[in-house]
Every structure is written in C-alpha cells, then in structure tokens.
Amino acid sequence: LAPGDYTLMAQFNAQDFTPTTPTSYAAIVPADDFLRAGPFYFEPQRKIFRCGMAVTTFLGDYPSPYNIGNNGRVLAVKDIRNRTLAPIGVGSHWNTVTDIDNPAWRDSKMAQVYGIAADDEFYVYLTATRLYGPNAITPGSGLIFMINPFTGGVTELVTAINTPTVVGNTELENNNQGLGNISYNPGNEVLYVTNPEDATINVIAAKNNSSYATGEVIQSYAVTSFTPTNTSSERVWGIGFDESEGKVYFSSPQSTGSVDIIAADVDANGLIVGPETTLFPVAGVMNIADISFSFDSQRMLVGERNSDPHASHVYQYTKTGPATWGPAQEIYVGGAGSNINAAGGVDYAYTSFSGNAPPNDGCDTEITATGNALILTGSLRVYGFGIIPATGNAPGSFANLNSIFVDSDVETGNNEWDKWEQGDVEVFDCACAVDCSQLGLSVSATPEDTISVDNCCYRIDYLNTGPEDVYFLQFQALDGVEINHTGDPYVLAPGFMTSGYTPTSLKIRPVGGGIMPAMANGLISNFCPKNVLAFPQYVLVNYLDSSQVAICTDTLVFSCPVEETCLYIVSDTLECDSLGYKYTATVKNPSGADFPVGFIKLNVEPDIPGLTVLGGEGLILPDTLFQGDTTTIMWTLETSEDLFGDTLCFILSAHDGVEERLCCAEIDTCIAFPACDPCKYVDAMVKPLADDQVGNCCFELFVTDTFTYDPNLIQSIQVNILNPGVYYTGIDATQAQIDGWSISPPLVLPPMTNSVLWTHSSGITPNGVNYNLFDFCIEGTTSTDSVYIEVVWLDADSMGVCWDTLAIFCPECLNVINDTLTCQTTIGPAGGVTQDYVYTFEVFNYSPFAVNTIGIVENPSSNTNISPDVISIPTIPPFSPGGASVPISIIIDGSVGSDTTLCFDLVLRQVIADSIDILCCYATHCIYLPPCDSLPPFLCPNPELANQGPCPLAWDPVCGCDTLTYSNSCFASNAGVTYWTPGVCDTAVMNPDPRVVLSGSLGASGEVLLDWMLNDDPSQYSHFVLRNWPAGGGAPVTLAVLPALAGQQQYNFVDLNAGSGIQEYDVLAVDLDGHPVYSNVVQVLLMNGLQQRAMVYTYPVPATNYLNVTSNLQGDAVLELISTDGRTLLQRRETFQGLPVPVDVSGIGSGVYMVRLSFRSGDIGQQRIVKME
C-alpha cells in the first residue's frame, strides 16, 4: 500500500456475528513500515434458524392402528428458502426439504402447542392448547414457551393459575382451557396473547424487552366486544398486529352468531388502549385461528379452523385505507374435497432464494397455510402446510392449486392419518426494502459535528422530485437503536410536527396536514441515535400517502460509534514515578452496562519482565461505580527498568466486587511508556516518629531532589493520602518554614484534609538530599493494609512531573501477624470430597483496651462463608494494648472459590457478662485464596502453635479440631488446637471411667455427702468438676470446681443446698491437658415435708429386665406387682433403707403394671410402670 490515510472495515454477516469491538478503524500507514490495526473481535451467533425458514406446530402423537405417530414431537422447522427442486402443482410432496428437529420439541418437554410468534432475533414463542384432545392444563402447567434460536432449547415463560391474572407476574388464569394464538410487536418487544379463559388479550414481555422481565405480564386487557362465556368453547382465538398503524387485530368468537374482525389501538408502549372497532364480518366462517400481515401491512391473511377439517377457509384481504380492507380473496388449501382443508395457521413467505436474503422484489410473494389432507393418493398421506402464490390459486386439480406441499412431522405412510392434528405456521422475517430512488424520493443524513460515542448527531434532509404525493415520513430504527425523543431531543423544522412515536420510531407530517413540500433541508436536526450496540446503524424510512400506506421504504445508514456496554476508558495517562510508572485512567461505567462496578483489575498482557503492579492488579473502589458514573483510578507499576520506547498493553476488566461474580472487559488497550529522566533524581521517604505506634501514627517525611538538568522544571511538591477516609490530624513544618517553604492549606488544617501543597519562596524546589520537609500524624485507618502517601513533584502549570508512592503502616485497631493459609479436605459418608480453607493467625492489639473476644464480620454481613464468627480469646487476663492473641483459626467455605480475594472485618471486643460488648474497634482484612489443592494441609493439633499460658479451672467444654474434648478453650490452645466448637466432641466418652469412683449419701440434716476416689496419680490432674442434675432432669449444673492436690486420692464435698427429689451427681477429673475423665453417676433421694408419706419411685422407664424401686419411707414393707386386671404377679417382703431395691421383671410380658408397697405402719403407696420386651 502507498503511505497515507486508510479506513479498515470488517466484512461480516450480522446474522452470524455480533461485533464486540469497533468494526472500522482509521489508520495512517507510514512509509517503509507496517501498521497493526484493530483489534476486531466478534461474538459468534450461529443461529439454527434463518430468515425465510418456516416453523410449524402439530399434535405430538404416538403409534396406533391409524397413525404411524411421531413419538410426541410437537414442532418442526423447515428450510423452505431454496425451493428449486420442490415439486409444484403435482400430487407429490416436497420430501427432501430440510427438517430441523430438537429433542426438546416433545410434548413431554413442554405441552401440546398451537400458536406461534417469532421475534426479530428469531426467538420462537408457542402457546399451549387443548385443541387436539387430552392435554390437562392445571395450575403450574406451562402456557407460553420460548425456543432459543442458538440452541433450540425450550424455556417455560408463562404458567397457568386458577385465580385471576395479576400484572407483574408470569402467570395467566387458565383452568384447563388452553390459550389462543400469539402475535409479536417488534417496536415495543411485546407479545399479544389471547386467553379464552377470561376473554382477555395479554401483553407479555418478549425476550429483548429492556423494561420488563421476559414473560412478565405487562397488561391483561379485558375485551369489551364480548364476554368470557362467548369464548368458553374456543380452542384457538386468532390475533395479529398491524405494525404500520399500531393496531391489534383479533376475531370475535363463533358463539356471538357471526365472526368479525376487530381492531384496537395500542399506545407508544404497546399497551392496548382501544377503542375496539369492528372492521368487517368474515362470511361463512366459524372460527378465525390466525391473522397475519405482509411486511408493508398492505395485505392481510386470516385462517379458519372449523370443526370440519374439510370446510375451513383461508382468505386474503388488500388494504384500501387506514383499517379499511377490500373484498376477500379465497386461498385454496389441500387436494382433498373442495380444496378448503385449512388448519388455521397462515403467514407470508418469500420468493425461492439461496443465500441469506431474498431478492428486493421477493418479499411476501408466497403464502404458507397449514392444512389437512394436502395429498391423499395411493399410500401417500400428507398433512402439514402448503406454499401457495400470494397472487392466489384456483380449486380443482393439483395444477390449479399450484402449491408445494410439506408434511409437518415427516410421516407420510398409508396409516398416517393426521386429521385435525395440524397447528400454526410462521415464517421467519427477512428484511424487505423498496427502492425509492426510482420514485424520486430520498432522505439523507449529514453529521452535525465530529462523531464520537457521546456526540453522534445528524441533520436529516428530505427531497421529492417524483410524482408521488407524500403526506407523512415514518422513521423506524432497527437493531434496538432508539430515537432521542427526550433528554436532548431532536428538533423539527418549522412547519412540521410529530404525528406519532415510540422509543424506536417517529412519524412526521406538516402542521395542519396536507402534502409535504418537495424539499425540506434540515427537516430534522439534532437527530442522535441512542442505544447504539452495533455498527453501522440502520433506520427505515417509510414514505406514506394520505391513508398512511407506505409508498416505498428507504434506509438511512448512520456511523455512530458503538456505545460501550462495559466499563471503558475515557482518558488515561502513563507517567513517571520514583518506583517506576504510574498509570491513571478516567473510566466510565456506561448507561448500558449490565451491573454496577465495585472492583477493577489491570491485567497486563503480555507480561513485562521486571514490572509488577504495586498492591496487586485488583482495585476495590471506595464507592460503587453505578451506570452512567465516571471515576479516576490509579496503579503504580514498579520497575527498575527504563521502558521508554516500549508499550504497556493490558485488559481492563470490571467486576461487581472482589468475588468477581459479574465481569466484562475493555480488550487490548495499549499506551506508550514515557521518558522519565527527571524522576530518577527525585525521591521521598518516611520514618516513624516513635518506635511504638500504639495510640499514635506519626511520621517524618524526607525529600531528595538532585535534578539539575532543568532547574525550573519542578516548582512545588504535593503530598496526598491516597486511602479513602484517612486524613492528616497534625503537621509540624517549623524548620521548613524557616527555610522558605510554605504550605497550603495553612497549618491549622481544615477537617479531613488529605492533601497539602508545598512551595518555596525561590519559585523552584531547592536541591537537597533527605530533607525533612515536615512531620505529620494521620487518623482514619480501618484496614490492616498499608496507608499510601503520594508525593508529586509539580511543574509551573501544576502538572505532575514525577510521582513517588510511599507505604506506611498505621494501624489504629489491630494488625494480623503470623498468619498461614492451609487446606482442609473432608470425605463425607457417601465418599464425596469437600475442601475448605483454614486461615490461622494472631491479632496484635493496637487498641487502647484489653481484648477477650474477636468477631468476624463478612461483607455483606449476611454471608455465612466463615466460621466461627465469634472467637473467645483463651488468655488470662485478656491481651492488653501492645499484646498479641494466641493463634486462632477460621474455616472459609471452599465454595467462595479459588483465585479470588476475600475481605472481612476483624472486630476486637472487650466483653463482660458473657455477651455485653463495652469496647470495640475493627479493621478490614483481605486475603488471597489460591486453589485449595496448592496449599499445605491443615494440621491439628499443631505443636508449633501451642500456647503456654495458665488456664482457668473452669468447665466450659470445647471440641477441638483434633476431635478431643477440652475443659475450656485455653487448654485447647495450649495443646496447639487453633479451631474448636462449643461442647463435648462425643457423648460416648461420658461413660464412667474406673479411675474415678463417686459415692453419695444423705446426711442427718438433709445435706448430701459426696465422696470420690481417684485411682490414678493425682499429679497428672489439674482439677475436679462436680456436677449435679436436679430432680426433673435438664442440663447438668456445675456445683463446684476443686483443684487436684499432689499425693491426695480421696476427696469429698457436702452439698448443703440440694433440692428435693432424686438428685444425680457425677465428678469429672480433668487431666493436665484439659481432657475430662468421667465418674459414675450417683443418685440421692431428698424429701420435702409433703413427701413424708408413702411414695413409690421406680426407674428406668420403661423397664426391660430389671426395675429399681425405692420409697420416701424406710422399714419393712410388702412389695407387690399387680397386672391391670387385678392379678398379683409378684409378692415379697423387702426392707427399704433409702437405697433402690432391684426387682427382676424379665419374666413378664410387655404392658402396664402397678407396683404397691404396704408398710407395717399402715402406709401404702403405689406407682404405675411400663414394661417392654
């Protein structure tokens, strides 16, 4: 190529690809060199469906003596575009037509369906029906289904309910009635669906509706022309949409005595507003099942579905004026009988074509109509749809019918009788254009200014040099482009007015009506296409006559840059810094973005050896960047290399947050590295004013300037705190002021000051090495990360020449130290494997108060990815300011995901009375989570983390991660256990141990005497825990904690406050490692005054082999065991002295019995018992 200016444009089929980058670039080709232009990226579409193909519905049936069956298939797409080899006007069907099928198109996957609509993106919508026979529609059944044009997959959009329809839901009232037909409004991306259940036409959001969720009911319009009782017997209720006039067409039901075609207006949002106008009757017809319009709305088809499949008609009408139609033209369907075998479905089709689009004169030249008995000759049974010339045909022979016949389910054998089983047909729309230049009509669009994303506006001129009288101009934007009706709206030339508009359309006429002038330069100014998502943009222009019928259609092509749908760079700079370079970008989250941005990553690609992004590539925004907002971001690129002459290339990715649940990216952005010589000679550093920063955060700042090449280059120094919310609280610059420096703002700082500017009386910054410019203190840190101080050397225009970023550590609450990240792998009972992260750390206390509890607060706080969320620190006393906690661990759910950053708040608390927080502070802490498999396994216990502090003699048991029970968390920590849960590990360990034997008795004054023997070395034990279960059950109560004494094996305790009834006791011997050893449980009976009469106690309940009997009275008594029928099964004399008397009951059967005691004193007591085998 010769050197010069060029434009590179990508050539592609918009049906196959969607561009994700610009599709054209301006390029200046240098001499004897090459140019890398682009990039060009596309999202492949590869839709299964193409314009001109036909989709048809039918009964999903199964083999029977009279039907081969199609195994439940209810839908087929036929590629009828190229009909070169199709038999026409003969008694043979087109058996080589390409048949597209999908396993999801079965009655078991959706339902029996009839009505069809297809939108501009070829999403197909189907309505459930009971037309063909049994197909129960109950609450929850699907009513409207959507077919994906890329995969063929089925989505259930709307379901049935047995209560009235509610706008805003995705449900329609339908009690086993089924829906009627369905039609599509492309201007508003809505569907119109008839519902015979309640005589309503429902407006439903289509797939690409930007205001409502797909399938949402936007309006449920109650028809006023007739009542629901009139539609009760309808199985299909026809509907269509006249786009040129903005009217919904529908039919009246047969039960009204006649069938009329009725029209109702829709508003700018596609909602039906009426009035309902009866246009004309359809003579001799019982039920209109479908209504379809040609692309220019000048012709209309209506299809009948009669109870007699061989007496159902198709009629075509020609428009003679607004909502006015000429006489009916009958279209004959099928070879059987009188050739009136319609099944109700109709649509216009195209001239036979190969390739992606029909010829200019090939739009709506054919009619498709579903029908019965299309061919019944010999063993051939064809049921499906015919392709018929739109000029019409005649009855009689196949030659007269002049049709191509297509079998719907590809089953045409002798026993394939698909009578009454055919549904609707719809042809995917192709773009149809009329050449207006031959009529002398034209419009042109001229840019008003330099074209950019934020400024793309045109002037529209009009010219008519031909014989046609034009009364209206209608503009229809395509591909989702919208016209700027609001905000900064277009401006019409004087003498013109708006006649109607929608977000994507505009109609103009002269004020007062009449014929438009022959020329109108500047007919529209400030015409600015919006929602530009593809390049170039197309706007159809319809020249309308006095009846608002299109004379012809033209197309305007606009070259607005594609509006961004992801965060993009408005402007950026790459500047020198003492650490290397500083990249600063002003970015915008466009209005069309899918999500607010909270996290941005600078992904350097390819990597540059020796260059690292200081602080990491990810940047958490202090304030969420919502759609339409702009912010400035910065990264420091650390390197010792001089990269002047090289280029920094990167992908700037935007995310909803650090979890990166949502993302998009600006691809392949590059910027050249600048020359940085001056910055090699300037430097800054800080030093703490004190070694101990607890309670203070003060530093000295030193600057170095040995740059002499251009003494006048650097004239001031600005020092900025970069962390949001951190600010200066004091500055001391006495010596600097003596040396001629001045500060702005003054030393009496305004609140929340985070930037100060230093200038020198000489007008330039003096040379010097490690000059103490000023001392400062800061506050406001709420993170365990560093605080970053930016030092900027400025020129005479206050523009940055050099930058240096300093990191200072300034915790006000806490810091995390000695932290490790490990992986814990768990194998479940069924063999499933899960992996979680274990984060072990210590906390250094920078707060002014002692701490005994640490809280974990996730972001958001409702998350439950971390456990535990409260940790009691096992130290005595609580760790003080300047002290560190023992090592502790938290479990992070593995589902959080790998290769991500997790941030959470660590809260230091001083807690009293177990749950009252009296002092608190917090800091946000972030950790990076690599793949769990890459980490060492979690070790528990870990001897290297064992604590050596003294532990309280308290019973507050915890279960350690080593599955051992400890007396309290302090013992667990001393064992190297960093993670525990409250309570004992396993109740099985509570079985009595012979090393500890407990006995109990009742004292003379009602006290309980407890004695226990330790049959082990007392020096191996720390303490004893004596527990009591009060009468009536419940949790044990710690009665006393006694130290274990060296050399002493016998211990006793007197319970002076025991309650009445059976009291149970045990004793726990806790060894030096904090592990408990459980004694036996003893029972002691105490009686109150009311109990000093004959009372009987028995246990266990129920009894199996033995029953223990005791009483509040002592002495000899006769013990009897009596059955429910009064028989005495056992009688013997026993002596009761306060201890239970065992009774062998193994020989009696299961049931209810009575134990009776008769004392010599005459007192008698009895108690019912339950015996079980």
- Do 658 and 520 share a structural domain? no
Q: Which of 50, 190, 189, 183 is nearest to 115 (CA)?
A: 183
pLDDT at 949: 80
The DSSP output letter for 323 is T
- Do 187 and 282 share a structural domain? yes
Q: Is residue 965 part of a domain?
A: no
In the chain, % of residues over pLDDT 90: 53
pLDDT at 88: 97
Q: What is the mean pLDDT of residues 814-822?
A: 91
Strands 171-173 and 154-161: parallel
- Do 578 and 540 share a structural domain? no
Cβ atoms within 10 Å of 176's Cβ, excluding its own: 14
Return the minimum-mean-pLDDT range out of 233-242, 490-499, 602-611, 1032-1041.
Answer: 1032-1041
Q: Is residue 854 part of a domain?
A: yes
Q: Is residue 959 part of a domain?
A: no
- Residue 419's pLDDT band (cuts 50, 70, 90): confident
Q: Is residue 317 part of a domain?
A: yes
End-to-end Cα, the chain, rounded Å: 103
Q: Is residue 967 part of a domain?
A: no
Q: What is the mean pLDDT of residues 987-1003?
A: 82
Angle at 1053 between CA 1052 and CA 1054, to 5 degrees: 135
Distance CA 487, CA 531 (A): 13
What is the dihedral angle through the alpha carbons of 1145, 1148, 1153, 1159, rounded to the nearest 10 degrees? -50
- Do 1042 and 992 share a structural domain? yes
Cβ atoms within 10 Å of 14's Cβ, excluding its own: 14
- Do 1138 and 1167 share a structural domain? yes
Q: Is residue 946 part of a domain?
A: no
Q: What element of type H or E holds 735?
A: helix 734-738
- Residue 1088's pLDDT band (cuts 50, 70, 90): low
- Do 275 and 256 share a structural domain? yes
Return the minimum-mean-pLDDT range out of 33-47, 73-87, 539-553, 782-796.
Answer: 33-47
Q: Which of 265, 313, 266, 317 is nearest to 289 (CA)?
A: 313
Q: Would you say 270 and 185 are in contact if contact means Cβ atoms under 8 Å apart?
A: yes
| Tens-place pLDDT, residues 600-631 | 999 998 899 999 999 899 999 999 999 889 99
Of 869, 904, 938, which residue constitutes the final position of a domain?
A: 938
Supply the range of the domain harboring residue 202.
Answer: 54-427
Distance CA 575, CA 792 (A): 11
Q: Is residue 1021 part of a domain?
A: yes
Q: Taking 50 as the threshold, does the pLDDT of residue 988 lie above it?
A: no
Cβ atoms within 10 Å of 942's Cβ, excluding its own: 19
Q: Which of 508-522, 582-596, 698-712, 1113-1127 reaches the highest mean pLDDT?
A: 508-522
CATH classification at residue 576 = 2.60.40
Mapping DSSP to helix (H, G, I), strand (E, B) and coil, where does residue 228 land? helix
Q: Taking 80 as the threshold, does the pLDDT of residue 712 lie above it?
A: yes
Q: What is the mean pLDDT of residues 346-357?
A: 93
Name the average pLDDT for the chain: 88
Q: What is the mean pLDDT of residues 622-651?
A: 91
Please give the sequence-ordered ranges of beta strands (E in DSSP) within 243-357, or none if there are none: 247-251, 260-266, 272-281, 288-293, 299-304, 314-321, 324-325, 329-331, 342-349
Of 558, 588, 621, which residue constitutes the final position of a domain?
A: 558
Q: Would you say 434 and 553 are in contact if contact means Cβ atoms under 8 Å apart?
A: yes
The DSSP output letter for 520 is E
- Do 453 and 390 share a structural domain? no
Distance CA 259, CA 256 (A): 7
Q: Taking 90 as the threshold, does the pLDDT of residue 428 lie above it?
A: yes
Distance CA 581, CA 574 (A): 7
Q: Would you say 155 and 105 are in contact if contact means Cβ atoms under 8 Å apart?
A: no
Distance CA 215, CA 123 (A): 13
Q: What is the mean pLDDT of residues 784-807?
A: 90
- Do 198 and 328 share a structural domain? yes
- Do 934 and 850 share a structural domain? yes
Instruction: Burial-class residue 1035 by CB neighbours within 10 Å (0-12, 13-18, 19+).
Output: exposed
| Tens-place pLDDT, residues 231-253 | 766 778 999 999 989 999 999 98
Distance CA 782, CA 654 (A): 25
Cβ atoms within 10 Å of 842's Cβ, excluding its own: 17
- Residue 950's pLDDT band (cuts 50, 70, 90): confident
Distance CA 680, CA 703 (A): 13
Of 1025, 1057, 1086, which residue constitutes the final position of a domain?
A: 1086
pLDDT at 877: 59
Distance CA 11, CA 40 (A): 10
Distance CA 1020, CA 1016 (A): 8
Return the minimum-mean-pLDDT range out of 338-347, 645-654, 875-884, 1114-1123.
Answer: 875-884
Q: Would you say 754 and 727 are in contact if contact means Cβ atoms under 8 Å apart?
A: yes
Better-scored residue on pLDDT, 1126 or 463: 463
Q: Taking 80 as the threshold, does the pLDDT of residue 13 lie above it?
A: no
- Residue 43's pLDDT band (cuts 50, 70, 90): low
| Tens-place pLDDT, residues 904-923 | 988 888 887 666 777 788 88
Instruction: Burial-class residue 1026 by CB neighbours within 10 Å (0-12, 13-18, 19+).
Output: buried
Q: What is the mean pLDDT of residues 960-984?
A: 90
Greatest Cα pair distance, the chain, in angstroms, is 134
Query: Which amino acid appears at position 364 of this protein?
Result: D
Q: Which of 817, 822, 905, 909 is nearest to 861 (CA)?
A: 905
Cβ neighbours of residue 570 closer than 8 Å, sequence gap 6 or more: 585, 586, 587, 588, 630
- Do 689 and 670 share a structural domain? no
Return the minimum-mean-pLDDT range out of 263-277, 946-960, 1091-1105.
Answer: 1091-1105
**β partners of residue 1169:** 1153
pLDDT at 21: 75
Return the minimum-mean-pLDDT range out of 492-496, 520-524, 1099-1103.
Answer: 1099-1103
| Tens-place pLDDT, residues 726-781 | 888 888 888 999 999 999 887 666 777 899 999 999 989 998 899 999 999 888 88
The domain tally of the chain equals 8
- Do 113 and 16 share a structural domain? no
Q: Taking 70 as the threshold, does the pLDDT of residue 692 lie above it?
A: no
Distance CA 51, CA 429 (A): 5
In the chain, % of residues over pLDDT 70: 95
Q: Would you say 486 and 498 are in contact if contact means Cβ atoms under 8 Å apart?
A: no
| Tens-place pLDDT, residues 884-905 | 888 889 999 999 888 899 999 8
Query: Which amino acid appears at position 401 of this protein?
Result: L
- Residue 400's pLDDT band (cuts 50, 70, 90): very high
Distance CA 463, CA 353 (A): 34
- Do 374 and 256 share a structural domain? yes
Burial call 854-893: b when 16+ CB within 10 Å, e when fewer? bbbebeeeeeebbebbebbbbbeebbeeeeebbbbbbbbe
pLDDT at 16: 64
Q: Is residue 281 part of a domain?
A: yes
Better-scored residue on pLDDT, 847 or 515: 515
